[in-house]
Amino acid sequence: MFPVRHCKVVHFVRHGEGFHNVAGKKDYSQYKRWDLEDAHLTAHGWEQAHALRKHLAKLPEPLNVEAVIVSPLSRALQTAVGAFGGDAWQPNDPDEALMVAQEAVPEKGVQHEAVSSAGCPPFIAWEYCREHLGLHPCDRRGKISMLQKTYPAVDFSLIETEEDELWKPDSRETHAEIRERGAAFVKWLLARPERRLAVVSHSSFLFYLMQNFGHQVSTTVQGELRRWYENCEMRTVIISDGGGESGGLDPLWFPGGHRLEGHTDE
């Protein structure tokens, strides 16, 4: 039992199908293709994002998401726009476009109309919920200046570098490092003022993030929590800070909290 003020409802979403997913399923070595750098959604991936949006609209009770936290990789941004964005944007609309119109590029991108930010919660891009870092060009993000032009209403202010300085061409993040990044990300979520959040991220990151949690529950619940995410799958969890505002993160209720030394909330 926890005080509700120390709890948040978080809807974790994996991005829709990307061009790299299609290629990688056929041959894993295709993930190293440079023409799949910062891979975009396929037509089916966009359909998945739109289907999630329709599903959310039919729920008996709205999610009332106060902010959408999204990985700055294009496939995650597109999924967030498709699932949580507004209707089609027109040049004379008073609200800023959440995403400008996309042109089709064979084997790289799909044509899509501009999307409005009207009636949407804030969209915040954050590096900590990116995919497994290194080696695979599909996981290398684009320049922030270009992403800002494509997604005008998305807040990229938390990302400090124009170029991707986290992704390395010759080394890959370890699973332990992803788990540590995931724990730091959840600590960051707990420090935010919103009570209801959506997070649009990636399969490996979400899988290893969830390994930090559920140690005190049954194996059945652990399996549900830690199961691999399918494309555009959404799962809702409640996260709690048992330490409270004055005591910091209590490792009894926040497994992995002891590994957060050296991280800041900035």
Rounded to two decimals, what is the model's pTM?
A: 0.89
Residue 12: predicted pLDDT = 98
Marked catalytic residue, from 17, 127, 131, 180: 131
> What b-and-e string marks burial along 152-168, b requiring 16 or more CB atoms within 10 Å of the CB?
ebbebeebeeeebebbe
CA 156 to chain centre: 14
| pLDDT > 90 in the chain, percent | 78
Closest CA to 151 of 99, 198, 197: 99
Instruction: Note if 131 is an active site residue.
Output: yes
For the chain, the domains span: 4-236
pLDDT band at 263, cuts 50/70/90? very low
Arch. (CATH architecture) of 4-236: 3-Layer(aba) Sandwich (3.40)
Q: Tens digits of per-residue pLDDT, 170-217? A: 999 999 999 999 999 999 999 899 999 999 999 999 999 999 888 887
Residue 264: predicted pLDDT = 45
Marked catalytic residue, from 11, 15, 20, 202: 15
Q: Tens digits of per-residue pLDDT, 127-183? A: 999 999 999 999 999 999 999 999 999 999 999 999 999 999 999 999 999 999 999
